[in-house]
Structure 1
Amino acid sequence: SGLLVRKIGGPSVMPYQPAGLWEESGTGKSYAQAHGEGLYRRSLYTFWRRTSPPPSMTTFDAVSREVCVARRERTATPLQALVLLNDPQFIEAARVLAEKLALEPGSTVDSRIDKSFRLLTGRAASPVEHAILRKLYDEQLERFAKAPDEANALLSVGEAPRGEKLDFAELAATTMVVRLLFNYDECVTKR
């Protein structure tokens, strides 16, 4: 999506995390979410509290900081799919990528589907895959055209500025396609 801040070094940051999580761990401290660049730093810079590590990182097999390991475990669980679909970090990344694709000169629905698939999987979509994604886009476009408040809610997730010039229903439908691709096995697991 282009949100990643590539700056090397600096203090720890506190990206998106569910509200109230630190309070639940009984430490008496509250989580102060970062803003701006602090939301988009590499996970290497994410602040860890031993009693309440970053949930999305632990869901994707981040190693406990209590021991040193040579290789981390890899799993694929339904919880990972839920994180990819519902975590504000991933929803925002999907929206920003959808905006970038929509703003490219000569952009069409089919070109956005093809380019997003290629960017996220490293290969071209088969005709069957493209047809499935196009059907999803058309269904979501119809849904968001009838419910602009739902489109606005989806496109309002995250702090990255939103392009106001784009059609909300089209952008929301493209965002849904990208969100689905984030859950595609080839995007989640490198084989």
Structure 2
Amino acid sequence: HGDGSETRYAHMQKFADKAGVGTKVKAGDVIGYIGTTGLSTGPHLHFELYRNGQAIDPLGTVTAIATDASAVETLTERIVQVESGGKARAKNPLSSATGAGQFITKTWIRMMNTYRPELARTLSTADLLALRYDATISREMVSNLAREGEAYLRARGHQITAGRLYLCHFLGMEGAHQVLSSPGSAQLSAVLG
């Protein structure tokens, strides 16, 4: 980048055909496809940001504040793309994560009890879990979870950005709060135990 910053992406299956060193990208552009190369523990994208050769916190560079429904909608679509590539029938072979939003069993059941109690009361557990394959309901639950994360972080004094809301999705709300409350020099493994 022209300002002395450099982005690095690792553990991808492959780069997108139009991506490569020096390619200018904007939000929403496909840069690569999630993989599990190197010493990764499962499919994911590893992102690093450097400025003048020094690693920096990429969340600290985000200035857009998520304050309205459109931000949650945008985040919802990004989560769905990152987690499942938008595939309603996606299934993580390493966990119970299933569907467009890649919800694990425990989280999905809680979300359905909270936001779709009429379905939770009338369907069997197996039928409730099968609804993770319903792209509309899965996106609805991703949005609900993002709103929960927003409320949780706001109540603890954190500014809200799309990156911080994704941190809630990835680490859970308390995990995100712990990370965001830690000194910048803290090791993630020490913060999360």
TM-score (norm 1): 0.33
Higher strand share: 2
Higher helix share: 1
User: What's the TM-score once normalised by structure 2's chain length?
Assistant: 0.33
RCO higher in structure (CA 8 A, sep ≥6): 1
